[in-house]
Structure 1
Amino acid sequence: MNSHPRPQRGGRPPAHRLVLAPVIALVCVLAAACAPGSGNQGSGDGGVTLRVSTWGNDSRLRLTQEAVKAFKAANPGIEVSVENSEWTAYWDKLATSTAANDSPDVVQMDESYIAAYGSRGALADLGTLGDDLDLSAMDAKVLDTGKVDGTQVGAPIGVANFSIAVNPSVLDKAGVAMPDDRTWTWDDLAEISAKVTDKLGDEGIYGIDGFGVGAAELGIWARQKGEEVWPTDGPAASQGTLQSYFEYANKLVATKAAPAASLQVENASAALDASTFATNKSAFHLLFHTQISAFAAASGNELKLLRIPAQASGESPKMVNKASMYWSIAARSEHPAESAKLIDFLLTNPAATKVLTTERGIPAFPAVQEEIAPLLDPQAKVALDFSRAVTPELVPPPQVTPANASGFSTEFTATATEVLFGRTTPAEGATKTMEIIDSMK
């Protein structure tokens, strides 16, 4: 996933530049999505033209277009038009086109929105498309992340593991040993990070570049406590768990293991190549693991990946496979069979997979992982090897973000930032977060 939108703590697009479509507006346009419409038309010459919507930078677009060109060569009766946008504009355009009964045939979908669209009839049931789209070789736990209300509305493109990237050169400079990620804890991370800052703080170098405002961070913290932010069964995130999360974030700042809140906020909105971790100014950075290539390219150093710390030594960190993104088909597409063929080609055909490699995550099909491994650069190979190493240890992933909760990440970040600045206590932040969660169920 080398050209993902600007990687952030927790793998989000830029939190302080993100403008999500209001949930109420999304509900309205998706209600309209079920209305009869003209749908997508043929090419005018007896063939079929598919519209494909994607988000991402120029590199991702170029690779996508190359893979699509190979598909068209293998399917001469099908034309494909790729419509690309940056993250924020993408969701605005998709909501508008869906309301106007003009949705693209094939839709690149994200975990935070798939339930919002899938639960309201805007996405086709991929399980009804027969041999045109065969997902049977995918790990069932990964495949299930594309289900909404039991219906397969998304085909996972790749997987990503929330993890910790480490810059060995910074640890070496600080005289700090590489931690054992099979036994370390959050307290160990705090202690090691504080040592790095103590040694190198005069040079503006910190142990970890930030913690405390990311929804992915909160998700893993709650899971390690036996809870989930969005549980299907079992306990929801409790007041005590949420408060302990905020208290840990404050501890990192108080011990100078992490920068002050103002520097963390500044870093979160910086361009990747100017960010703290990318400029070798921190030893650790939380991320979805396929983002490591972008940071390595910016830093000029070889970076490594570590498992998330556990709450106590010897406990499971309860890491999961997250679908990096999905391919979906619009429910009103007039060309579902051709759309399915395109998705199948992009996911499994060597003419596409050898072009895309890990661009949208570690491929969800194990056979494709084997196929592309020899083509990867060293840092992408680090990501693939890490994914393979932790897979046997992973726990089942949680449900996708509920239909009404697409805006949770943004609202949580705003609340958590107030705690980080000391304007709200951890207890008050926990109460506010629980109120946000309850309002979105």
Structure 2
Amino acid sequence: MNRYRTWGTGVSLGLAVLLTATACSGGSQGTSVKPDSGKSGDGSANLKIMWWGPDTRHKATLAALDIYTKQKPNIKFTPEYLAWDGYWSKLTTLAASKSMTDVLQMDGAYIQDYASRGTLEDLSDIDLKGIVDPKIIDNSKINGKLYGIPLGHNGQGMAYNKTDLEAAGVKLPPKNWTWEDYFAFAKEGRAKLPKGKYPIGDPSNVWDNYQYYQTAKGKGPIMIDGKKFNLNKELWYEYQNMFAQFRKDGTVPPPDVTKAFVDNDPKGDSMASGTVMTKGVTVASVSVMEQLLPGKIGLVTIPTGPSGGGWAQSTLFLSVSSTSKYKKEAKEFIRWFITDKEAGKALGTSRGIPINNEIYKELEPNLQPTDIISRKLLDTVIEKALPFYPAPTGWSEWVQAYQAEMEAVWFGKKSLDDAYKTIETMGKEVETKLTNAK
């Protein structure tokens, strides 16, 4: 399931799908990290561990596990690594049978769901003082408890094609630009860019792209506390009418062109293909755009408002199963995972910018341009960033309906008023259902 969106393209982008583009779904083949049958309580343990990611992450993690076993021979691992879809499909089955792995990688969009079902152990007793910023820890807590140890920094901003914009004489996005700046940029770009090139994409079909507008304006997220439906009608119409006008006058690509974009494909990507000048990127994904357009990328925040804009916080965690026989050993391992310098070198930036700044400093002298740009994006967005507001459990059908309704508007099959009625009615129904659920 896709969780994040490429802001400014109107095309859904699962960040983890991006990160797993080259992923393989395998087990522990080719690694010296082997299972053992240690018993909890005698100092030995066989920790089952599971994660998703690309091949580079798999190899880096296996190397780190090997280091840990060499440092602590009584601890062995049974690793399993999969692509994004396979990971969550298997984890759902494991959770239902109460047989989740001892240690598991967890995502910011789903951790609240798994925690609420009692499948994750509270990790608040792990000492992270001087290791992880207390603000990050606080932002990661769920009902006052810590169910995942953050692994890397993340955040949302925008990349723009600096080279092509300068060639066309379009004023570049200013630091911490506002929504007013953004719309002015779009209009100037329409007037100056060659035919077939567009200053911005059309993100109006995806709910959380609109949410950036609403939160920046100080009206809060669309889903409050996981249950309350909070779609601001006035702002929604304001936003949607602006993009309707942009579609009419050619400021954004036509709907059929937008639908045909293929994220991160050299020829099919909205920005890499040279079609759209701006694109939403995350700290964890911006390196891909740098690879596709080396030296051409500029960075800026998501357009801001009185409350800020975009988000910045950790979205990738290591968690412990509540049914694990090796909770103590698992917690010790996770703390080691983000503090040991040898492990830090092995892991590198395979999970983004390390959450532990001391580890990052060790890596910094040898970082590649694709790694450096990730840090640059984080530094760019952090000042105005808001919290990360994913769709809570129970809202998936509404999310899908939102996109279907807005695409019907795109292609003239439905009026904006009718789409709003459907979106609002369904949102209130979900709120009622979740509020009344036991």
| 8 Å Cα contact 1:111/1:401 also seen in 2 | no
Q: Hey, what does 1:226 align to over in structure 2?
A: 218
Structure-2 separation of matches of 1:418 and 1:269: 22
Q: Please point out which of 338, 344, 350 is paired with 2:335.
A: 344
Is 1:287 aligned with 2:281?
A: yes
Is 1:416 aligned with 2:406?
A: yes
Query: Aligned in 2, Cα 1:108/1:243: closer, same or farther, shift over 3 Å?
Result: farther
CA root-mean-square deviation = 3.2
Is 1:76 aligned with 2:67?
A: no
Query: Aligned in 2, Cα 1:99/1:290: closer, same or farther, shift over 3 Å?
Result: closer
Following TM superposition, the consecutive aligned residue runs of length 4 or more in structure 1 with deviations greater than 6 angstroms are none
Q: How does 1:325-336 map to 2 (within 5 A)?
A: 325-336=316-327
Q: How does 1:200-211 map to 2 (within 5 A)?
A: 200-202=193-195, 204-211=196-203
Is 1:381 aligned with 2:372?
A: yes
Per-residue Cα deviation, 1:310-338 (whole angstroms, up to 9, x for no partner) = 34xxx453343232322111110111122
Query: Aligned in 2, Cα 1:152/1:407: closer, same or farther, shift over 3 Å?
Result: farther
Q: How does 1:107-146 map to 2 (within 5 A)?
A: 107-128=104-125, 130-131=126-127, 134=128, 137-146=131-140
| 8 Å Cα contact 1:126/1:153 also seen in 2 | yes
Shift of 1:418: 2.7
The structure whose RCO (Cα within 8 Å, separation 6+) is larger is 1
Shift of 1:407: 5.7
Shift of 1:283: 1.4
Q: How does 1:4-403 map to 2 (within 5 A)?
A: 8-10=5-7, 15=12, 43-44=36-37, 47-128=44-125, 130-131=126-127, 134=128, 137-182=131-176, 184-202=177-195, 204-227=196-219, 228-232=221-225, 236-268=230-262, 271=265, 274-311=268-305, 315-395=306-386, 397=387, 401-403=391-393
Structure-1 separation of matches of 2:5 and 2:389: 22
Per-residue Cα deviation, 1:188-207 (whole angstroms, up to 9, x for no partner) = 323323443444443x3221
Per-residue Cα deviation, 1:276-309 (whole angstroms, up to 9, x for no partner) = 2123332110122331111111223441210122
Aligned to 1:125, the other structure's residue is in SS state coil
What is the TM-score normalised by the length of structure 2? 0.81
Shift of 1:80: 1.9
Per-residue Cα deviation, 1:131-169 (whole angstroms, up to 9, x for no partner) = 5xx366423332233322222112222222211111111
| 8 Å Cα contact 1:113/1:406 also seen in 2 | no
Query: Aligned in 2, Cα 1:60/1:225: closer, same or farther, shift over 3 Å?
Result: same
Shift of 1:392: 4.1
Query: Aligned in 2, Cα 1:370/1:163: closer, same or farther, shift over 3 Å?
Result: same
Shift of 1:215: 4.1
Structure-2 separation of matches of 1:378 and 1:308: 22
Query: Aligned in 2, Cα 1:135/1:72: closer, same or farther, shift over 3 Å?
Result: farther
Structure-1 separation of matches of 2:399 and 2:87: 17
Query: Aligned in 2, Cα 1:359/1:433: closer, same or farther, shift over 3 Å?
Result: farther
Shift of 1:218: 2.6
Letter in 2 for 1:217: N
Shift of 1:95: 0.6
Give 1 or 2: higher helix fraction: 1
Structure-2 separation of matches of 1:76 and 1:261: 58
| 8 Å Cα contact 2:175/2:300 also seen in 1 | yes
| 8 Å Cα contact 1:230/1:398 also seen in 2 | no
Query: Aligned in 2, Cα 1:298/1:221: closer, same or farther, shift over 3 Å?
Result: same
| 8 Å Cα contact 1:229/1:236 also seen in 2 | yes
Shift of 1:111: 1.9
Quick one: percent identity of the two aligned structures? 23
Structure-2 separation of matches of 1:11 and 1:341: 42
> Which has the higher mean CA deviation after the structures are superposed, 81-90 or 163-172?
81-90
Shift of 1:375: 2.8
Structure-2 separation of matches of 1:230 and 1:8: 17
What is the TM-score normalised by the length of structure 1? 0.81
Structure-2 separation of matches of 1:317 and 1:167: 23
Query: Aligned in 2, Cα 1:17/1:393: closer, same or farther, shift over 3 Å?
Result: closer
Query: Aligned in 2, Cα 1:119/1:432: closer, same or farther, shift over 3 Å?
Result: same
In structure 1, stretches of 5+ residues that fail to align are 21-41
Aligned to 2:80, the other structure's residue is in SS state strand
In structure 2, stretches of 5+ residues that fail to align are 18-34
Shift of 1:84: 1.7
